[in-house]
């Protein structure tokens, strides 16, 4: 067996062979920041002619103790014999404090490798991978469609000279629209934390809906301007980091006063300031897309309504999304002024723009329980979480949540299909 992670978004550190079928694995920390160790993504190549065998892997150095692994989550696996990811069986996965590893939490899981016929490769990942190159290919496909209501621009270059793109989605103001009142602007950002790949799938689902022929999408493009930064931390994504940029900064704690060390946040904030100060632009809404490593369902963090223009209005969008999206939980949504989250996009922009509603949307790395209330039992398997049945998220169900977020804007702004 040959272990490797020298590919885009890959992450694997030291490997210790305990015996022919048991290995201890360590995760490399984020680049220039030893504090964060959660995301892993690596390959195992099987020698030609190797016999089928079961192997036991121990990942020994997670930096977090609270984890969806406690709730029944398991790693993902895909081989070159298959085009799709699947989860390791829950019964073959164990998460526990290990006396052998200074009482650190260890994830142990078993995988059975099929008999090797010609150098098969198996990939293991913390969550569904979505690389910088994946995004660039997706944006290129959209551009090739030459849709008049979609514009892609380079907002800035990263420290490592990668693109940070911004999309504008709105119908051109021509004909009857030319004399309509100014459109409200909706700002959407994703992937400031590179290991939070579910946020990228949500963002893609949202974009897919907004550029589609869905009657509500057409009507929203007449009334709204969507500004979308689909990947706020391209360097961190490329390097296989969990939370930080190439220089080791958690970019979502630097919105208050970004410097040259955080060019992505600096450029995004300056753009928003320019919009806010422009009398011809009505900047109305900001939402930042994330993934949560210790909770189930989708839910939102909202700013305390005391500083908002209307405390009741701040609760409207989460309530509407709860009705629209079966995997979203209004019960888990909360107004939060946690000091540890100062400098986040939601907090910093909420204070800077008191008449703009600012939110964080979180989604579980693992599963939904709220969807079962509607009788929805689709998904890759089922698990019991403290007596509560849940449905693991898939790439498709993450994108479906994104589509539901997009449709919620139509109801929020009372836009009807033509």
* Residues marked as catalytic: 362
Asked if residues 245 and 236 have their Cβ atoms less than 8 Å apart, the reply is yes
3-state DSSP of 97-140: EEHHHCCEEEEEEEEEECCCCCCCEEEEECCCCCCHHHHHHHHH
User: What tokens appear for 162 in the block?
Assistant: 């990668």
Rounded Cα distance, 371 and 385, in Å: 14
Each residue of 243-253: b (16+ CB within 10 Å) or e?
bbbbebbbbbb
Q: Look at the block and give the residue holding tokens 């109801």.
A: 411
H-only helix segments in 278-375: 316-324, 345-352
State the greatest distance between any 2 C-alpha atoms of the chain, in Å, as a whole number.
74
**Backbone dihedral region of 32: left (phi > 0), alpha (psi from -120 to 50 degrees) or beta?**
left
User: What tokens appear for 234 in the block?
Assistant: 């391209």
Rounded Cα distance, 13 and 185, in Å: 44
Backbone torsions φ then ψ of 201, nearest 5 degrees: -65, -40
């Amino acid at each position: 067996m040959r272990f490797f992670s020298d590919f885009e978004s890959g992450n694997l550190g030291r490997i210790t062979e305990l015996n022919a079928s048991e290995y201890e694995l360590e995760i490399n920390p984020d680049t220039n920041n030893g504090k964060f160790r959660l995301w892993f993504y690596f390959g195992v190549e099987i020698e030609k002619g190797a016999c089928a065998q079961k192997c036991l892997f121990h990942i020994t150095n997670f930096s977090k103790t609270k984890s969806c692994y406690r709730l029944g989550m398991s790693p993902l696996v895909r081989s070159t014999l298959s085009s799709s990811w699947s989860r390791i069986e829950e019964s073959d996965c164990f998460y526990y404090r290990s006396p052998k590893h200074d009482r650190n939490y260890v994830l142990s899981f078993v995988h059975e490798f099929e008999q090797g016929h010609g150098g098969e490769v198996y990939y293991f990942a913390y969550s569904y991978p979505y690389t910088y190159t994946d995004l660039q290919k997706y944006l290129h496909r959209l551009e090739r469609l030459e849709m008049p209501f979609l514009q892609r621009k380079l907002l800035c270059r990263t420290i490592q000279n990668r693109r940070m793109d911004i999309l504008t989605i709105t119908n051109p103001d021509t004909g009857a629209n030319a004399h309509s009142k100014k459109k409200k602007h909706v700002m959407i950002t994703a992937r400031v934390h590179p290991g939070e790949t579910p946020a990228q799938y949500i963002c893609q689902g949202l974009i897919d809906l907004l550029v589609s022929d869905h009657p509500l999408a057409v009507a929203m493009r007449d009334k709204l301007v969507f500004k979308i930064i689909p990947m706020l931390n391209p360097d961190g994504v490329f390097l296989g980091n969990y939370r930080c940029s190439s220089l080791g900064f958690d970019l979502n704690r630097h919105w208050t006063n970004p410097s040259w060390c955080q060019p992505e946040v600096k450029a995004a904030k300056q753009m928003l300031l320019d919009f806010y100060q422009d009398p011809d632009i009505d900047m109305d809404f900001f939402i930042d897309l994330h993934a949560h490593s210790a909770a189930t369902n989708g839910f939102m963090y909202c700013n305390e309504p005391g500083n908002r223009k209307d405390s009741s209005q701040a609760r409207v969008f989460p309530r509407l999304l709860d009705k629209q999206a079966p995997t979203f939980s209004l019960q888990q949504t909360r107004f939060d002024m946690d000091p540890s989250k100062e400098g986040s996009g939601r907090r910093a922009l909420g204070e800077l723009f008191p008449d703009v509603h600012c939110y964080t949307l979180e989604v579980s790395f693992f599963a939904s329980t709220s969807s079962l209330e509607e009788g929805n039992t689709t998904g890759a398997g089922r698990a019991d979480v403290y007596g509560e049945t849940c449905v693991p998220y898939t790439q498709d169900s993450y994108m479906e949540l994104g589509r539901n977020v997009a449709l919620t804007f139509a109801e929020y702004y009372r836009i009807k299909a033509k």
